[in-house]
């Protein structure tokens, strides 16, 4: 299962990444707030399958797409060695009515137990 399968409000993402996020994803940020809310920023280095005029040209104006997600169904989050986290391919499993989303690299990991994520927006940037 691909992490894109855990996201609602996903029409744009499905057009941009019809196969899902197939290569490494950088978990660029995680924000925990009250009321079981979490916000994630996934930094994708795969070129989108569609052109978005306001983003410019892939490889010239941007080469990373940051996908911003939220969830108000956070059940639990486990974070280990956040400061040594690098890119990975997230593992997704179904656990009853929830998803277990596991980001791991070397000795770092982030595991989120959520009912699902909601797509909020994308931003872009050049990573040299």
Q: What is the pLDDT of residues 85-123, one digit of tens each?
A: 888 889 999 999 999 999 998 889 999 999 999 999 999
Q: What pLDDT band is residue 60 in, cutting at 50, 70 and 90?
A: very high
Return the pLDDT at 54. 96
State which residues form the domain around 109. 3-125
Q: How many domains does the chain have?
A: 1
- Are 6 and 114 in contact, with CB atoms under 8 Å apart? yes
Return the pLDDT at 83. 84
Sequence-separated (6 or more) residues with CB below 8 Å from residue 107: 80, 81, 84
Q: What pLDDT band is residue 34 in, cutting at 50, 70 and 90?
A: confident
């Amino acid at each position: 299962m691909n992490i894109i399968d855990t996201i609602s409000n996903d029409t744009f993402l499905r057009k941009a990444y019809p196969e899902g996020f197939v290569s490494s994803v950088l978990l660029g940020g995680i924000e925990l707030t009250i009321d079981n809310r979490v916000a994630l920023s996934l930094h994708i280095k795969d070129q989108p399958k569609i052109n978005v005029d306001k983003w410019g040209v892939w490889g010239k104006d941007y080469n990373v797409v940051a996908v911003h997600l939220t969830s108000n169904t956070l059940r639990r989050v486990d974070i280990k060695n956040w400061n040594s986290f690098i890119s990975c391919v997230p593992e997704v499993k179904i656990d009853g009515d929830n998803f277990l989303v596991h980001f791991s690299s070397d000795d770092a990991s982030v595991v989120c137990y959520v009912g699902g994520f909601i797509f909020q927006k994308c931003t872009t940037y050049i990573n040299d």
